[in-house]
Amino acid sequence: MEIDQQHQPDKTDRQQSMFPPPPPPQLNRSLKRLLTITNCLLLCLGNASGPLLLRIYFLHGGKRQWLSAWLETAGWPLLLLPLSLSFFYRRRCDPSARTVLITPRLIIASAFIGLLTGADDYLYAYGLDFLPVSTSSVLIATQLAFTAVFAYFIVRQRFTPFSINAVALLTVGAAVLAMHASSDRPAGVSVSGYWKGFALTLGAAALYGFVLPMVELTYAKARQPVTYTLVMEMQLVIGFFATAFATVGMIINKDFQALSREAANFGLGETKYYLVLIFAAILWQCFFLGAVGVISCVNTLLAGILIAVFIPVVEVLAVIFLHENFSVEKGMALVLCLWGLASYSYGEYREAKEKKERAVSHQVQTSTV
């Protein structure tokens, strides 16, 4: 992905034009396809596994919302390994290669997105304390509708009849769940607690629907080639600030002091308590890295679609491993969400096809002039 820059040549530029620097490496089609597939797999793995592990934490005695929010981005140090490999590879090809590609301007933008992500993590984790995973995943599907709305204002992605239909269907799907709260409440959760979880999860969907277009806008304003190394560096900054946000909440809530006590009383045992926390941090990092990677390789739309398309997978896994009830109302909401997803996807496919045909037609007309 290349971002054009306006640059007025000066005397120094004219002198250096005799020995121009080598152009930045371009991703060939096969490598870009490999990166796209890899990021799609990372996003899907984290999207399917992360919510289940957080729900397991709450089901078996976990009570710390700030800790569960912290787990969603605490795996950011794992990015240091691929970044180190990328650095040594770049230095091998070019001894004068920069140590880091991210600029102060992108650090500020990534820090802001990281704080928003930290707030989103808390809303999602807190809501999951009161809702079944299957219900939470259907509500999170409305993120695609919020993404469409925010993308319209932030990155000028226009509405089509298909996207409007998708937004309407996703909204109705959430309303179906809302009207049958009594049949969906987990044991021990009050009606007011269910509604709290419902509102918090919708808030998380709305906030992440805002975050995804902001990431795409940051790429568009980067003023430098957006390579996958730069994407990982930005995600490292996002993860650091999101984790710092949750860490402050944990300190205020005294979660660190309660860890050993909570582990000792965990329903699955102390060892499995820590394993749940560790794997949750790793798998959620897969999700976030995959999301920003898909945005950089393709666009925000595909990231939103992949998040939504895995709803049935999460539903099935929740029924199998957590023995959650799959009610008729939940099935109706799921069908509406998938219908909305299909409508949105088909509309974008048609638009992309028409755009390509117009570009080919314009190229033919230009060549014949």
Secondary structure (DSSP) of 69-117: HHHTTTTGGGGHHHHHHHHHHHHHH-TT--S----HHHHHHHHHHHHHH
Q: According to the model, what pLDDT value does residue 131 have?
A: 87
Residue type, 71: L
**DSSP secondary structure of 245-263:** HHHHHHHHHTHHHHHHHHH
Q: According to the model, what pLDDT value does residue 363 have?
A: 75
Compute the distance between CA of residue 341 and CA of residue 336 in angstroms, rounded to an integer.
9
Are the CB atoms for 167 and 142 separated by under 8 Å?
A: no
The total of other beta-carbon atoms located within 10 Å of residue 254's CB is 10
Compute the distance between CA of residue 309 and CA of residue 241 in angstroms, rounded to an integer.
29
Length in residues, the chain:
369
Compute the distance between CA of residue 76 and CA of residue 70 in angstroms, rounded to an integer.
11
pTM across the whole model: 0.79
Are the CB atoms for 237 and 114 separated by under 8 Å?
A: yes
Are the CB atoms for 90 and 97 separated by under 8 Å?
A: yes
Q: Which of 129, 150, 128, 151 is nearest to 139 (CA)?
A: 128
Are the CB atoms for 43 and 286 separated by under 8 Å?
A: yes
Low-confidence residues in the chain, pLDDT < 70: 1-28, 157, 177-184, 300-301, 304, 368-369
Domain range list for the chain: 50-368
Q: Which two tokens stand for residue 263?
A: 């582990």
Cα–chain-centroid distance for residue 44?
10
Are the CB atoms for 162 and 347 separated by under 8 Å?
A: yes
Q: According to the model, what pLDDT value does residue 105 have?
A: 94
- Angle (CA) 229 234 240, round 5°: 125
Q: According to the model, what pLDDT value does residue 334 have?
A: 76
